[in-house]
Structure 1
Amino acid sequence: MKDFTIRGKRKILSQIFIFLFWIIIWQIVYGILQRDIYLPSPFNVFMRLKELVFLKTFWQAIASSIGRVAMGVFFSIVVGTILGIISSMNDFIYNLINPLIVAIKSTPVLSFIMIALMWFSSSNVPTFICFLMCFPVIWTNIVGGLANIDRKLLQMAKIYRLKKWVVIKKIYLPSILPYFSAACITSLGLGWKVSVAAEVLSHPRNAIGSHLYSAKIYLDSSDLFAWTLVVIFFSLLFEKVFAYCLEKITIKKSSKVSKGCVKVGAKN
């Protein structure tokens, strides 16, 4: 317990040191350039961030952007999971969807944003782009997870003549969960970035990207960097929280895979 506490303190101190190191580098570069329009000082950026925190529009923009990201990621998880399962069961469906996945991965995000601007209203563009960019990640991981299920567990289930719902619950779900959790974490970070990029170009009301665009138009570097820090902070925050929750679920489920199969098989 003592060693665990010491390691925790060392990790926190290490993170603080890394943070201060890059702040110092930032200050040094600012001192060399001496041009606020290119690179504002850390002090000015943090002071601007302090001012933004007390503004109502700041939290409205964050709430709206989070809502768009959440909706885009949610739909990508639902559609990607369903189509991923179907594709794993049917080669024709897999061959039908795979070219679309390759096309989405190969096409620049900017191209999709331009197309979306012609199809949707400005407030719906970020959600669509988030869904479009995250969908291939979910689909690919689900297909890969199903393809890499331990065949010995399936053979054991067949020998014990386990029911299909038991096989799904005790083998398929726990085996797929690591792939699914990795896909969700990746999609959350990717979705946040592409959604903000789409907001910059679509310029919807109450959006982080809209504030970034306004800061760029008015050459307000402090404001631009402050909003950029907000994007980085929330991206890391959601990834960490989501990863922590999924890690707990994954560990709990994985520990029950073999045990669950043996117990159910013994009963049968």
Structure 2
Amino acid sequence: MKPKVKKIIGNICYPLAVVLLIFGVWAAAAYAKGVTLILPTPAQAFHELFAYVQTSVFWRALANSLWRSFYSFLISFALGLAFALLSRFSEAADRLVRPLMAIVRAVPTMAIIFILVIWFSRTLAPVVIAVIVICPTLYSAFLSAILSVDPKLHEMSKVYGVKKRDMLLKLYVPNVAPALFEGAAGGFSLNIKLIIAAEALASTRFSLGGLMQNAKINLEMEKLFAVTVAAIVLSVLCEWIIRLIGRAIVRWK
């Protein structure tokens, strides 16, 4: 068997085996418990999910949550990258940015959610929460990637009078692009989870988090698990797409 074919099979089989194992444990636990109100079976959850996807309510909720995740992540990405560049190229800015990010990162996520749900509207609070939590994470990932560039190349560029703009585009971008997309993929997945959690606590209407909250209040565990499965699929799919785009761009570069 060719190494490339073997690698492709491995990339498919191992994740599939993990998924089957998870569903196997879930099914065994559900049948052992025997109480749908506490733990429905995978079949019951998927039956509810298939019923859900045939309604406009589900698709509206999915679209709203995905849109909030998308533009909140764009804000976090832009801020994280900007702060990382400031820290790299300005010592004065670095002395301000590093403590700020450390403080924001140290604040408990649940405290941020509870406070901002009170301060902002139900639709805006999840976005602000995601930006505050994700931005420091992306900042750390981006700064590490930027600092990994060989400092000798940086010094050589300065000696030969290379403009900062050219240094950024021709030295840093090609070297840090893989790390940027890797951080973006994991960050976006986490961002979706934060958005949905904040929507649930804020009882945001027409959102995946709102559907989860309603299912919990009404003790509809099949619906709760169905929406959870949908959120997992959405998160994994988005992360996979970002990684795919990142690999394509890196190869093209």
Tell me if the contact between 1:113 and 1:198 (Cα under 8 Å) persists in the aligned partners. yes
Q: What is the Cα deviation at residue 12 of structure 1?
A: 2.9
TM-score (norm 2): 0.91
Map 1:11-90 → 2, pairs under 5 A? 11-90=11-90
What amino acid does structure 2 have at the position aligned with 1:113?
Answer: I
| Distance verdict in 2 for CA 1:60–1:92, change over 3 Å | same
What amino acid does structure 1 have at the position aligned with 2:89?
Answer: M
Q: Secondary structure at the match of 2:149?
A: coil
Residues 1:91 and 2:91 are matched in the alignment? yes
| Distance verdict in 2 for CA 1:4–1:180, change over 3 Å | closer
Q: Distance in 2 between matches of 1:250 and 1:15?
A: 24
Q: What is the Cα deviation at residue 238 of structure 1?
A: 0.4
| Distance verdict in 2 for CA 1:5–1:156, change over 3 Å | same
Alpha-carbon deviations, 1:36-76, whole Å to 9, x = none? Answer: 11110111111001100101010000000001011110011
Q: What is the Cα deviation at residue 136 of structure 1?
A: 0.4
5+ residue gaps, structure 2, are none
Q: What is the Cα deviation at residue 2 of structure 1?
A: 5.2
5+ residue gaps, structure 1, are 254-268
Residues 1:214 and 2:214 are matched in the alignment? yes
Q: Secondary structure at the match of 1:204?
A: coil
Give the corresponding residue for 2:129. Answer: 129
Q: Distance in 2 between matches of 1:151 and 1:252?
A: 25
Map 1:1-268 → 2, pairs under 5 A? 3-158=3-158, 162-253=162-253
Q: Distance in 2 between matches of 1:190 and 1:7?
A: 27
Q: Distance in 1 between matches of 2:136 and 2:168?
A: 24
Q: Distance in 1 between matches of 2:140 and 2:251?
A: 22
Q: Distance in 2 between matches of 1:10 and 1:186?
A: 22
Q: What is the Cα deviation at residue 117 of structure 1?
A: 1.8
Once the two structures are overlaid, the 10-residue window that deviates more, 31-40 or 147-156, is 147-156
Q: Distance in 1 between matches of 2:104 and 2:79?
A: 15
Give the paired residue count.
253
Q: What is the Cα deviation at residue 173 of structure 1?
A: 1.1
Identity %: 26
What amino acid does structure 2 have at the position aligned with 1:232?
Answer: I
Alpha-carbon deviations, 1:130-163, whole Å to 9, x = none? Answer: 1111110222223223322212333454566545
Once the two structures are overlaid, the 10-residue window that deviates more, 73-82 or 10-19, is 10-19
Tell me if the contact between 1:133 and 1:190 (Cα under 8 Å) persists in the aligned partners. no
TM-score (norm 1): 0.87
| Distance verdict in 2 for CA 1:94–1:14, change over 3 Å | closer
Q: Distance in 1 between matches of 2:40 and 2:209?
A: 19
Tell me if the contact between 1:185 and 1:243 (Cα under 8 Å) persists in the aligned partners. yes
Q: Distance in 2 between matches of 1:60 and 1:33?
A: 34
Tell me if the contact between 1:109 and 1:194 (Cα under 8 Å) persists in the aligned partners. no
What amino acid does structure 1 have at the position aligned with 2:206?
Answer: N
Bigger Rg, structure 1 or 2: 1
Q: Distance in 1 between matches of 2:3 and 2:83?
A: 46
- Structure 1 segments, 4+ long, off by >6 Å, are none
Tell me if the contact between 1:62 and 1:208 (Cα under 8 Å) persists in the aligned partners. yes
Q: Distance in 1 between matches of 2:156 and 2:92?
A: 29
| Distance verdict in 2 for CA 1:7–1:152, change over 3 Å | same
Once the two structures are overlaid, the 10-residue window that deviates more, 122-131 or 178-187, is 178-187
Q: Distance in 1 between matches of 2:182 and 2:43?
A: 36
What amino acid does structure 1 have at the position aligned with 2:173?
Answer: L
Across the aligned residues of Structure 1 and Structure 2, the Cα RMSD in angstroms comes to 2.0
What amino acid does structure 2 have at the position aligned with 1:170?
Answer: K
